[in-house]
Amino acid sequence: MINSTICEMLGITYPLFQGGMAWIADGKLAAAVSNGGGLGIVAAGNAPADVVAREIDVARSLTDKPFGVNIMLMSPFADDVAKTAAEKKVAVVTTGAGNPSKYMEMWSAAGIKVIPVVASASMAKLMSRAGAAAIIAEGGESGGHVGETTTMALVPQVCDATDLPVIAAGGIGDGRGMAAAFMLGACGVQVGTRFLVAEECCVHPNYKERVLKATDLGTVVTGKRLGHPVRSLRTQFSREYLKAEYSSMPDDELENLAVGALRLAVQEGDLKKGCFLAGQIAGMVTREQPAADIVREIVEEAEVILKGAAKWVR
Ligand code: TUI
């Protein structure tokens, strides 16, 4: 059985985290992943603190296993949500899209393990010094807000930059990806896109269908001009946004084009105006499954590969 330091640190069975996908990763999905032996994560996204508190309560009502909360630091409600996570004494906080240093003391005082998502080795160093318990190194293959460096290049460099346990994220959707992450020095993985089609995942059926139909070339990064690069499925929205991005449209108008687009995808399944965030492994996602089966399948595949890895050495 695959086991690593992160399992002991967090009291989880398998070293597999579910990504904190804004608007998507609610208490029900997080609990299903945690019940399956991984670490489920409730995503705060841009939601106000009371909504996040409610989802934490939902997760608690559905599992007695540890789960985490992801705090999206660009949210206008980040301060309030950070306090809520501390008050609720969740087991783990992961953070994204910024530097969480100002909250670290408050979370540590609440006994919370803080695991920031980073897209660079320098940020990993900073987070180690600030008291992080582990680091999630997320490569640009991931869905949503992306950094420049690929998982293959980022993970070993983050491992070299810190003594903390490193969780690899971005482009990991099956046991091959998980096994490869261990070879790069990681002691666990975070998976987002594959959980979009979990039975317990709340996204609109159109969203699941789009992910299931995606190919290897099915995603694109938009938003570079405004400094917020985001990977999503190629759709009418992404095509039109990309065209606008390379036109003379003023920045504020461009910004307005994207407002509400993720909600339209998740809740309405709006194939014209919705922004369907997904990572580059979308082309490998072929069927809807219970979240616990996704966790078990990935881990079991990785076990077989890792056990057989000696075949490469004489
Ligand atoms: O955060 C993510 N992925 C996300 S957040 C999100 S919601 C959103 N929607 C539109 C625009 C922006 C966000 C959708 N997907 N992943 C974790 C992640 N964090 N990737 C990269 C980073 C990151 C980037 C910069 C972490 C730290 C950082 O530090 C910069 C600094 O402040 O020094």
Q: What is the tens place of the pLDDT at every residue in 90-128?
A: 999 999 999 999 999 999 999 999 999 999 999 999 999
Please state, in angstroms and rounded to a whole number, the distance separating the CA atoms of residues 110 and 1.
Answer: 32
Going by alpha carbons, the residue nearest to atom 30 of ligand 1 is 98
Residue 149 Cα to ligand 1 middle (Å): 13
3-state DSSP call for residue 198?
strand
pLDDT, mean of residues 45-56: 98
Residue 191 DSSP class:
E
Q: Report the percentage of the chain scoring pLDDT > 90.
A: 98
- Å from CA of 216 to ligand 1 middle: 23
For 271-306, what is each residue's pLDDT tens digit? 999 999 999 999 999 999 999 999 999 999 999 999
pLDDT tens-digit readout, 29-46: 999 999 999 999 999 999
Does residue 75 carry a pLDDT above 90? Answer: yes
For all residues of the chain together, what is the average pLDDT? 97
Q: Collapse the DSSP code of 309 into the 3-class scheme (helix H, G, I; strand E, B; otherwise coil) and give the result.
A: helix
Ligand 1 centroid to residue 28 C-alpha, Å: 23
**Distance separating alpha carbons of residues 286 and 216, to the nearest angstrom:** 12
Token output for 111: 């006994």
Q: Does the C-beta of 20 come closer than 6 Å to ligand 1?
A: no
User: Measured from the CB, is residue 138 less than 6 Å from ligand 1?
Assistant: yes
Q: How far apart are CA 198 and CA 220, in angstroms?
A: 23
**CA of 70 relative to ligand 1 center, distance in Å:** 11
Number of Cβ atoms within 10 Å of the Cβ of 306: 16
**Confidence class of residue 165 from pLDDT cuts 50, 70 and 90?**
very high
- So what's the pLDDT on residue 285? 98
Residue 40: predicted pLDDT: 98
How far apart (Å, rounded) are the C-alpha atoms in residues 83 and 54? 14
Handedness of CA 240, 287, 167, 157 (dihedral sign): negative
- Nearest residue to 21 (alpha-carbon basis) of 181, 198, 182, 177: 198
Residue closest to 28 by CA, chosen among 41, 12, 14, 46: 41
Exposed/middle/buried for residue 191 (C-beta within 10 Å: 0-12, 13-18, 19+): buried
- Kindly tell me the sign of the dihedral angle through the C-alpha atoms of 167, 171, 174, 176: negative
Is the shortest distance between the CB of 74 and ligand 1 below 6 Å? yes
Tell me if 49 sits within 8 A of 84, measured CB to CB.
yes
Spacing of C-alpha 21 from chain mean position = 6
Whose CA is closest to 58, among 80, 101, 90? 90
The pLDDT value recorded for residue 84 is 98
pLDDT score at 1 = 87
Backbone conformation region of residue 122, classed left if phi is above 0, alpha if psi is from -120 to 50, else beta = alpha
pTM, to two decimals: 0.97
Confidence at residue 3, expressed as pLDDT on a 0 to 100 scale: 82
**Residue 54 Cα, ligand 1 centroid: separation in angstroms?**
24
96 Cβ inside 6 Å of ligand 1 = yes
**Portion of the chain with pLDDT greater than 70, in percent:** 100
Taking CA atoms only, the protein residue closest to ligand 1 atom 11 is 228
Give the helix, strand, coil percentages of the chain, each rounded to 5.
45, 15, 40
Ligand 1 mutation pick, 23, 145, 221, 241, max ligand atoms within 8 A of CB: 145
Residue range 257-269: mean pLDDT, rounded? 95
